[in-house]
Amino acid sequence: MEMLILILLAILIVCVLILIGLVYAQSKKQNDRILMTKIHQQDQKTREELYQKQMRETFQNLNGQIQILRKENALGAQSIQKMQTDLSSMNKVMTNTKMRGNWGEYQLQSLLEIYAGQNPEIFSMQYGLKNGKVADAILRVAGSDKVLCIDSKFPMENYLRIEEGKNQQEFIRLFKMNMKKHIDDIASKYINEQTVDQAILFIPSESIYQFVCGKCTDTLNYALERHVLMTSPTTLVGVIFTLLASTRDFYRSAHIEEIEKNILSLQQDAHRLEQRSQKAKQSLESLVQQFHSISVSASKITKRMDTIIEGREDPE
């Protein structure tokens, strides 16, 4: 009987242990499930925060790019507005005869100042002649009290009509008439006893000058007959360089004796410098020799003093 009770108690204990194991396993599984849920929720939260951060950064970058584009568009609009203003101003200059004339005179003065310098011995602006006429500029000729007058002309209206391509022959005829009038005015105003027997008609536009040379050779020949030389900005620079070269040659020729005298003087100075340098070289070599002798004597004295101090016999 006691044995049966013991067996039943053992079975009961085993059942209790199994039940406890099942409950523990179920509890552990439940805890693992809760832990995994929390981990998943935390991971989901982290992913959402990262996604939101990336979205904020992307939005900020896009907003920055939009602001930059707005600024660039604003600058572009300002540039376009400024360009339109400049074009409008240029159009006013090109369509107004007086303003166009002022532009030609300004370009003439700029070229003279750049390539000839602000030298009153070479050129002057707004030069008044004895006949009461005022030339836009004059070039002074070396060795003469006469001047070469320059007058700026800008025949734009008919040239633009020629470029439009309508009634070209008629507008070419009118253009030639305008040019002939300019040539006659310059020849009558700026060629006299106070000037050389030529004058310069300055055309500020290279395209108009090339048109005259290529399509209006009769006008060009007429200008040469009236002793009027037509120039563009490029060819005027050539005239300036030629004048500067002739001026240098003139002053060089005028002072040739003084230049030769100065050259001979420089040659004598060079010979004297060479002689003095030779004497200085000999003196320097003698001085080096003397320093060497002094060094030998000092060395001998030092050796004798060392021998005496050490109590050795003096070799001398």
Whether the predicted model's global pTM rises above the 0.75 cut? no
State the average pLDDT over residues 213-240: 90
pLDDT digits (tens, 9 = 90+) for 116-166: 877 788 888 889 888 889 999 989 887 788 889 999 887 777 787 887 777
Does residue 218 carry a pLDDT above 80?
yes
Q: Which range in 39-48, 168-177, 282-291 is most confidently predicted, on average pLDDT?
A: 168-177
What is the model's pLDDT at position 183?
A: 92
What is the per-residue pLDDT for 246? Answer: 81
> In the structure encoding, which two tokens stand for residue 200, read together?
């310069």
- CA dist., res. 141 & res. 246, Å (int): 9
Confidence of residue 97 (pLDDT cuts 50, 70, 90): low
* Tokens coding 275: 């002689």
pLDDT tops 50 at residue 1: yes
Stretch 56-71: mean pLDDT = 73
308 pLDDT band (50/70/90 cuts)?
confident
The reported pLDDT for the residue numbered 161 is: 81
Is residue 87 very low, low, confident or very high in pLDDT (cuts 50, 70, 90)?
very low
Burial 136-148 (b: 16+ CB within 10 A, else e): bbbbbbbeeeebb
Q: Is the pLDDT confidence value at 176 over 60? A: yes
pLDDT value at 201 more than 90: yes
Q: What is the pLDDT of residue 180?
A: 92
CA 279 – CA 90 distance, rounded (Å): 73
Lowest mean pLDDT among 134-148, 179-193, 219-233, 277-291: 277-291
pLDDT tens profile 4-63? 666 666 676 767 667 666 666 666 676 667 667 666 666 666 666 665 677 677 667 767
Q: How high does pLDDT run on average in the chain? A: 77
Residue 92 has pLDDT above 50, yes or no: no
Q: In what order do the strands lie in the sheet with 147-152?
A: 123-128, 134-140, 147-152, 195-202, 228-231
